[in-house]
A and B are shown apart, each in its own frame.
Chain A
Amino acid sequence: MARTVGIDLGTTNSLVAYMDPQTGLPNCIAGPSGSTLCPSVVSLDPDGSIIVGEPARRRLLTQPERTIYSVKRLMGRGVADIQDELRLFPFRIDPSSKNVIRVQLGNKFFTPPEISAFILRELKNWAEAHFGESVERAVITVPAYFNDAQRQATKDAGKLAGLEVLRLVNEPTAAALAYGLHEKQRGHVAVYDLGGGTFDISVLQLISTSEGDIYQVLSTNGDTHLGGDDIDNLLQAFVHEKILQQHRVDFSPHSELAQELRKDLIAIKHQLSEGESATLRFPLPNGAVYVQEFERGAFEALIRPIVDRTMGPVRQALADAKLKPGEIEEVVLVGGATRTPLIRRTVQEYFDRKPHTELNPDEVVALGAAVQANILDHGVSNMLLLDVTPLSLGIETYGGAVAKVIPRNSTIPASAQEMYTTGVDNQTGIDIHVLQGERELAKDCRSLARFTLKVPPAPAGLPRIEVKFLIDANGILQVGAKDMRTGEQRTIEVQPSYGISDTEIERMLEESIEYAEQDFAERQAIEARTEAETILAATQKALGTPQAASLSAEERAAIDATVAALKESVGGSDYKLIRKRIDELNNATMHLAELVMNSAVSTALQGRKLAEV
């Protein structure tokens, strides 16, 4: 059976993890570079191929116009929503984009889900290389405060990457799952998650029942536009201004120089988490070098507004859970930005409790996703996760007001039924506008969808149509309708306000094949061929050594036969056959390898003896 993995699709880095059946603990899978972090950076090569991760990150400096980072900030959002982002991030947006943004890389345009799909596909490849078998299902994490459109966009990305998304799990909840295994905690837990671009706070209750452990989320809050990136932006703006004043050098925030500066400032930020000071030396195009000494105190004063912005959501989440800071038994820190000492201190002071930081804050969300993937994969388990919807669901009423039908922090799945009728005779349609948010006016909430309920002509007030709004376990809205007079069920075509329609997704799926790497078997065959070439070359070399003369005639014949067999299999695409022949050749050359090895060892020993004399 194909494997199921957990994926943390992050703003800065993405990770893939699985549950190790032997240890019963989740593990992150490393990529080709040996690191478990895959930078969430995508680059379009001039030859048309897609480059993801560390190699793409290097291209941020050399080919910024073909490379994109922090695409998560654009997921599920319209052009009007991202004007702030555009000032700070070098996104090149197709000017004709409206409700679905299209980003330019080189001469091509991609939607944010398509770009995220490239990252997911890369992680899928890492996992397949690790297992030696295909991976088809995944649990993907999202910020708890993601709205419907952002969640749908993430699910679309999974589909485009060829993954069945078993569940979207909220990042802080995933972190709690990972810690739960680690610590066996009980009681009220607060998870403070400051990632690259998003902030979440969740309050959970851990309950032991006779069937097993329940992780019940009581409340969640956050800001999907607040993260470590904002600290980088602040530093960058600060230094940019200084350089302008002192050296009269002005450069576009989108230039290569700006990317270079950003990279150096991120290093300064990391140094200030460890030490008390750090020095920036930044060479300018005019030959001058800008030097800036940063003291931790001054750095903390600079970033304090960002840290303070996280505390409003923290207080709201506690109020919604009807708890006081002192009633929280455990506090967990998640996300790379929580390495910042000021953040640790602030959280510790507020809860008057030392927060947990034992698990790697970069990996903990992916590890939790792997735990949930394992729970879902096996259907039966002694753990259950009950999560909530972060935002109230509402319907627009007269005068642009919003009637809340599902309040925020409702356990999901959650639903609400509303009965609709007509206001005038022979009215054939009723317009319905669904929104998400806490504000009272429709214009201040997030529009999710508009649709028209079709009504058979009848006197006013006679039709009775029940509309059911349902938020599923992924936090995504479904709408259904029922004609109460005829009992007829109807499906409703809901055109999302900020999403990609199903037909567009189908088209993208077809197109994605163009960019997709070869399928699993083909990639395995390529890897097996490379390995075969290496071993064939090594055998050839060994046969040319004087030691080869000591082989018996049978041994020599066996080697020649297996070499021929392997050479033949390499021409085909059956990777299992190639691997089998490699093993056979390995067996046939065992004696030869020993002979060569012994000779090499004795030469080496002799060499050492000589040197020691």
Chain B
Amino acid sequence: MSVASTATPQQRSYFDLFEVPRKLWIEMSALEKKFLELSWKLHPDKFVNASAEEQELSLKNSSELNDAYRVLRDPVARVEYLLELEGMRKEGEHKQQAPPELLEEVFELNESLDELREAKASGGDLTSLKSRLESAEKNFQEKLGAVDARLQETAREWDAAIDGNAGGTERKGIMVRLNELLNRRSYIRNLVTNVAKELL
């Protein structure tokens, strides 16, 4: 049973490694520059003739660097990581539940998916079912776009809170909202992937 996550408290955080503040807006070109600079220093290719201990350390450091870059480069993974780091998000704790206001649409979507699968199995006409699903897919794609926009907005709030040295309660409030948005995003994204798969 797996209960947690990439971030363990005693480790140096990915933000520390790249020497950037724990904020959600990161300038990509600066991040890449730092990544390349550190790669020159840490990559195992630089330690082929070194002692076994040094090779081991290079493997640890360069994998950590690559892991950090992978996470910080991706805007969603970055939010997830920040929340894990702040102890606000634990892998496995958040169940994939349909957001209440989406329940009806999700129900209809699942019905259409079932019909499509049946029609595929019995060789029936797929055209009208497919077009219905395509419009549903488009609808959920738009919702995904909306969640991303809200996620971005809330991320800016977080950065402002950091800059303004906001108190713990305010920060926590923002993080709770970020967490909800992440769950919602992951739910909708799964729906879109499932529909896309059936439409292939």
Q: What is A's interface to B at a CB cutoff of 8 Å?
A: 166-167, 207, 209, 211-212, 214, 375-377, 379-380, 384-386, 395, 397, 403, 407, 410-423, 430, 466, 470-473
Contact = CB atoms under 8 A, between A and B. Distances in A.
Interface-centre pick from A166, A211, A407, A411 (highest chain B CB count, 10 A): A411
A412 B66 contact: yes
Contacts of B45: 167, 375-376, 384-385, 473
Contact of A413 (B2, B50, B63): B63
B81 interface: no
Nearest to B4: A419
A415 B36 contact: no
Contacts of A466: 8
Contacts of A413: 44, 59, 62-63, 66
Contacts of A430: 1
Nearest to B32: A207
A410 B6 contact: no
Contact of B66 (A214, A411, A422): A411
B63 A470 contact: yes
Interface residues of B, number: 27
A411 B69 contact: yes
A425 to B, nearest CB: 14
Nearest to B6: A417
B43 A386 contact: yes
B36 to A, nearest CB: 6
Nearest to B77: A407
Nearest to B193: A440
B67 A415 contact: yes
Interface in B2-22: 2-6, 8
B174 to A, nearest CB: 26
B36 A207 contact: yes
B39 interface: yes
A422 B47 CA distance: 39
Contacts of A384: 39-40, 43, 45
B46 A379 contact: yes
B146 to A, nearest CB: 22
A422 B1 contact: yes
A415 B5 CA distance: 12
A414 B1 contact: no
Contact of B3 (A420, A470, A471): A420
A212 B36 CA distance: 11
A380 B47 CA distance: 9
A605 to B, nearest CB: 59
A65 to B, nearest CB: 43
B70 interface: yes
Contacts of B39: 214, 384, 386
Majority-rule SS of B interface residues: helix
B135 interface: no
Interface string B25-50: 00000000000110110011111111
A411 B1 contact: no
A410 B8 contact: no
A414, A421, A471 interface centre (most CB from chain B within 10 Å): A414
Contacts of B48: 166-167, 376-377, 379
B3 A419 contact: yes
Contacts of A376: 45, 48
Interface in B51-77: 59, 62-64, 66-67, 69-70
A419 B66 contact: no
B193 to A, nearest CB: 10
A288 B45 CA distance: 61
A419 B44 contact: no
Given A166-B48, A377-B48, A410-B66, 11 more contacts: A207-B36, A212-B40, A375-B45, A376-B45, A377-B49, A413-B66, A414-B63, A414-B67, A417-B6, A417-B8, A470-B63
A419 B90 CA distance: 11
Contacts of A211: 37, 40
Given A377-B48, A386-B39, A417-B8, A397 B67 contact: no
A435 to B, nearest CB: 14
B134 to A, nearest CB: 20
Contacts of B40: 209, 211-212, 384
Contacts of A473: 43-45, 59, 62
Contacts of B66: 410-414
Nearest to A417: B6
B2 A380 contact: no
Nearest to B40: A211
Contacts of B8: 417, 466
B2 A214 contact: no
Contact of B64 (A395, A415, A419, A472): A415
A316 to B, nearest CB: 14
Contacts of A379: 46-50
Contacts of B44: 413, 472-473
Nearest to B58: A413
B32 to A, nearest CB: 9
A378 to B, nearest CB: 8
A151 B69 CA distance: 25
Most buried by B among A395, A413, A415, A430: A413
A69 B167 CA distance: 70
Nearest to B3: A419
Q: Which 7 A-B pairs have the closest CB atoms?
A: A413-B63, A415-B63, A419-B4, A411-B66, A376-B48, A473-B44, A379-B49
Contacts of A472: 44, 59
B106 to A, nearest CB: 20
A423 B3 CA distance: 11
A421 B1 contact: yes
A426 to B, nearest CB: 15
